[in-house]
Amino acid sequence: MKPGLESIKNIIAVASGKGGVGKSTVTTNLAFALKAKGFSVGVIDGDIYGPSQPGLLGSSDKPTGQGGFIVPVEKEGVKFISMGVMNPSGKAVIMRAPLAIRALSQFLSGVLWGELDYLLIDLPPGTGDIQLTLSQQARLTGAVIVTTPQRVALEISRNGVDMFKTVNVPILGIVENMSGFDCKHCGESTPIFKTGGGASLATKEGVPFLGCIPLDPEIMASGDEGVNLVSHHKGQGPAKAFVDLADKVIANQIEAKLETSEPKEIEVVNGKLQVSWEEGKPASYETFDLRFACPCANCIDENTGVQILTKESIATDISVVRHQLVGRYGMSIHFSDGHNTGIYKFSKLKGLENGTRQDSFSV
């Protein structure tokens, strides 16, 4: 069994703009729905401060260690890791952001996931350090955005869409959760929190709409009791909504791979960076120009945007030593002068030969 993400076929982030929209519940039931379709599935509980996957999955087992790596907990065939199972005391996790980021990095690279078809990452709400770290350290297949129909939730959910677009992560779609209460007695549906907002947001943002999840007591009860809703209801009632969601995620994930805008190949040839894009022959970049275009805080003042680096300070014979991919949206370049802190976005790198400004690379 291999550690880290190299044997995982698809990594999908499940995100939301604000808390309380049921993102973790959607993650859990999507995982069970994918498992019911015969896929191997894992879940990372990325909400370090407020982990909920152990309760939703219904497991209080503790992870074990093997060869310096973490062996994930398993519930009904779904592997998962969470700060909730790493913190048996149940006390509040009080730590600064750098330590939370380190914990997420450990979940990404230090867990024996083995071969998985899908790894779902249940993110905390917002667009902060943890979301950006994930986008940089994992080559995400795509992101699913969860919202409720209310205007406040929709407005904040738009921020999540914008963030993933910025870092070149395909939006697999938007899910509208708590989208109407279906009465078991009269059969009528009551839009307690309105309805249609998720579809409207998807249309405005030009991304797929994955469907609606009803506001149903059975979903709540399954989460409270840690019961697999999909297998217990055999795809009927509210469980069917998650099975349908899994079908759409699978279809959109395949399409997203076909539409990727990443380079086909990146090489260092005779100290120069060469990039082969989908639409043309390899582009060769002058190393001096790349170094001068570095967008990092050592080369560009973060507050004013004024360039600190001068051409006179760059060696004329500078060369590229190697490159390192940063998520799906860019790369860091290691130069012969030891500098390697800039992130060059693919979307801007294409235009550098035509005089793209160096500050255009910043995320």
Residue 184 has pLDDT above 80, yes or no: no
Output phi, psi for 111, to 5 deg: -110, 140
Taking only the tens place, the pLDDT of each residue in 88-145 is 777 788 888 889 999 999 999 999 999 999 999 999 998 888 998 898 889 899 999 9
Distance (Å, rounded) from C-alpha 51 to C-alpha 100?
12
Distance (Å, rounded) from C-alpha 165 to C-alpha 145?
12
Range list for CATH 3.30.2020.30 in the chain: 265-361
Query: Nearest-CA neighbor of 76 among 212, 182, 230, 209?
Result: 230
CATH class of 265-361: alpha beta
Residues contacting 348, CB < 8 A, separation 6+: 356, 360, 361
Which CATH code, of 3.40.190.10, 2.40.180.10, 3.40.50.300, 3.90.1150.10, is assigned to 8-258? 3.40.50.300
Q: Are 2 and 114 in contact (CB under 8 A)?
A: yes
Between the alpha carbon of residue 59 and those of residues 31, 32, 34, the distances in Å are: 15, 14, 19
- What kind and span of H or E run contains 256? helix 238-258
State the pTM of this model: 0.83
Range list for CATH 3.40.50.300 in the chain: 8-258
Taking only the tens place, the pLDDT of each residue in 47-61 is 999 999 999 999 989
Distance (Å, rounded) from C-alpha 360 to C-alpha 351?
10
Query: Could you tell me the pLDDT band of residue 37, with boundaries at 50, 70 and 90?
Result: very high
- Residue 14: helix, strand or coil by DSSP? strand
